[in-house]
A and B are shown apart, each in its own frame.
Chain A
Amino acid sequence: GENVEQHPSTLSVQEGDSAVIKCTYSDSASNYFPWYKQELGKRPQLIIDIRSNVGEKKDQRIAVTLNKTAKHFSLHITETQPEDSAVYFCAASINQAGTALIFGKGTTLSVSS
């Protein structure tokens, strides 16, 4: 089955800096890669996703890149703000009916002002 590795487990940055979180996946059939932000005690919130037919996707300060050959995908947050502080999870799946997302272990991002 799919296995998703995520690094780093914790990341501390100064406000305004960039943050990068990296994930690798094992199943070459996976074709859907979402990123979730989770605040304490809350449900995960989808912040951006990418499908295997594109290499990069951007939404304001957030971007995701995908390297299918290397089975890597990364989340980039620019101009970080204190409200970006949360736990971020990457996930992967074969985007078809009945297939669950498999999550990485999460990255705790702390943005200090």
Chain B
Amino acid sequence: EAGVTQFPSHSVIEKGQTVTLRCDPISGHDNLYWYRRVMGKEIKFLLHFVKESKQDESGMPNNRFLAERTGGTYSTLKVQPAELEDSGVYFCASSPFEGRTNTGELFFGEGSRLTVL
């Protein structure tokens, strides 16, 4: 069974440019999460989808970040325009839907490293 895959693995862009990160969750996983780790600090939650619906986007830093999950399958995270402080590793994770007690394991991708110059 394929795991969570993320693309690209590394992206280097200049300030003001646009970058789109993609995540393909494990097939059948309704929950999809985006997290970010900046400069060796803690991994911070960005948002959570259940199928195509945004369940919680409380961690999105600002309106330069846009996440979508069309059809409830893969997800994209677009940063436009990118700023220096957006540099970091963006992780995607998925898990099966477990109803009211979603306390199970998250399955993570390898992450997409974003460098903004």
Q: Do A and B bind each other?
A: no
